Amino acid sequence: MAVTETFDKKKHDEGGATYLERTPRRLVTLYLPLAIFVIVLLFPFYWMTITALKPDNQLTDYDHYSPFWVVKPTLDHIRYLLFETSYLPWLWNTIVISVAATFLSIFAAVLAAYAIERLRFTGSRQVGLGIFLAYLVPPSILFIPLAFMVFKLGLYDSKWALILTYPTFLIPFCTWLLMGYFRSIPYELEECALIDGATRLQILVKIILPLSVPGLISASIFAFTLSWNEFIYALTFIQSSENKTVPVGVLTELVRSDVYEWGALMAGALFGSLPVVILYSFFVDYYVSSMTGAVKE
């Protein structure tokens, strides 16, 4: 009887595993959704690319030219963007601000997440929930009191205005993400280290952080992406053209009244999105594994 049940179960499992080997079902359940996903994901990059390469007469003349293809591509828009605007300084400002804000946010998030998850003080869970709820506050509300502080501290129209305000929305989510990842690390490792005489700082630096590399990479990617694409604070706290970031500079400098430099706009958006795309492509495995570790608890 047991042998028969085992045989039936094995046969059933084999049948369930072979459903993807049938061509019609594999087409509907695998290839078609994957194709739709790839098209939706890559179409914006394709549209930005062909728009950046189109001559001006093809951008609006849909009667003679297809909107989905380019005839006689030109590099005039890219040349104008790189050599006749302040795009390169905007790009450098964005890199400096994003890296600095990410470093400050990860440093604070590591200390907060470790304290909440490992020190086990009274009200630690409530503190963790409060930190996460702070992330839900819209930046459009926070920038009003932050603007008052930026003006009072004399930081207006400087990179420090953004470097010090971006962590207000980066730290809460990074802390929540690292809390979930720290929770997945066995507490017995710390107990053994404490018995051997290690301090809390040594445990954090030599045990927790090396084991949390995927979580740290994921939180860093998240913080860097939000800093790179942030618009409201950069528009409010920066005035001079040389201190602007890419999202603000492209919109405010390449749109003049009712004149839209579509080719340069798309080239700027394309070049501005490439660093984030490259960053995700190199660390996607760490990002997925860290998100799994953060939410499985």
Tens digits of per-residue pLDDT, 105-157? 999 999 988 888 888 777 777 887 888 787 788 877 888 888 889 999 889 98
Question: Is residue 64 located within the same domain as residue 207?
Answer: no
pLDDT value of position 165: 92
Question: Is 177 inside any structural domain?
Answer: yes
Question: Is residue 36 located within the same domain as residue 131?
Answer: no
Q: What is the rounded distance in angstroms from the CA atom of residue 171 to the CA atom of residue 135?
A: 8
pLDDT value of position 34: 87
Measured in degrees and rounded to the nearest 5, phi and psi for residue 255 equal -120, 110
Q: What is the rounded distance in angstroms from the CA atom of residue 59 to the CA atom of residue 41?
A: 23
DSSP bridge pairs for 255: 260
Question: Is residue 69 located within the same domain as residue 90?
Answer: no
pLDDT in tens, 214-258: 888 888 988 999 999 999 899 989 988 889 999 999 888 888 767
Question: Is residue 65 located within the same domain as residue 98?
Answer: no
Question: Is 14 inside any structural domain?
Answer: no
Q: What is the helix (H) or strand (E) element at residue 259, kind and residue range? A: strand 259-260
What DSSP assignment string belongs to 283-295? HHHHHHHHHHHHH
Question: Is 1 inside any structural domain?
Answer: no
Contact in structure between 98 and 272 (CB atoms under 8 Å): no
SS3 256: strand
Question: Is residue 107 located within the same domain as residue 185?
Answer: yes
Which residue segment(s) compose the domain that 223 sits in? 85-295
Distances (CA, A) of 71 to 42, 79, 172, 232, 264: 21, 18, 48, 37, 18
**Domain CATH code at residue 125:** 1.10.3720.10
Q: Where are the alpha helices (DSSP H) in 119-158?
A: 124-135, 139-152
Contact in structure between 215 and 179 (CB atoms under 8 Å): no
Q: What is the rounded distance in angstroms from the CA atom of residue 185 to the CA atom of residue 188?
A: 9
pLDDT value of position 2: 47
Q: What is the rounded distance in angstroms from the CA atom of residue 164 to the CA atom of residue 152?
A: 14
Q: What is the rounded distance in angstroms from the CA atom of residue 279 to the CA atom of residue 22?
A: 37
pLDDT value of position 295: 44
Question: Is 219 inside any structural domain?
Answer: yes
Contact in structure between 195 and 274 (CB atoms under 8 Å): no
In terms of Cβ atoms closer than 10 Å to its own Cβ (0-12, 13-18, 19+), residue 190 is: middle
Residue written as tokens 């409201």? 232
Question: Is residue 183 located within the same domain as residue 37?
Answer: no
Distances (CA, A) of 14 to 17, 24, 170: 5, 19, 47
Question: Is residue 65 located within the same domain as residue 156?
Answer: no
CB contact burial 96-109 (16+ within 10 A = b; e otherwise): ebbbbbbebbbeeb
Question: Is 143 inside any structural domain?
Answer: yes
Question: Is residue 50 located within the same domain as residue 97?
Answer: no
How many residues in total does the chain contain? 297
Question: Is 132 inside any structural domain?
Answer: yes
Question: Is residue 127 located within the same domain as residue 242?
Answer: yes
Question: Is 246 inside any structural domain?
Answer: yes
Angle at 180 between CA 179 and CA 185, to 5 degrees: 95
| Segment 40-57 mean pLDDT | 88
| Segment 256-276 mean pLDDT | 84
Number of domains making up the chain: 2
Q: Count of alpha carbons within 13 Å of 228, Cβ hemisphere only?
A: 19
Contact in structure between 131 and 112 (CB atoms under 8 Å): yes
Question: Is residue 131 located within the same domain as residue 257?
Answer: yes
DSSP state of 69: S
Question: Is residue 45 located within the same domain as residue 113?
Answer: no
Query: Which of these, 103, 96, 140, 133, lies nearest to 231 by C-alpha position?
Result: 140
pLDDT in tens, 176-202: 888 888 888 888 888 888 888 888 888
Question: Is residue 137 located within the same domain as residue 278?
Answer: yes
Question: Is 140 inside any structural domain?
Answer: yes
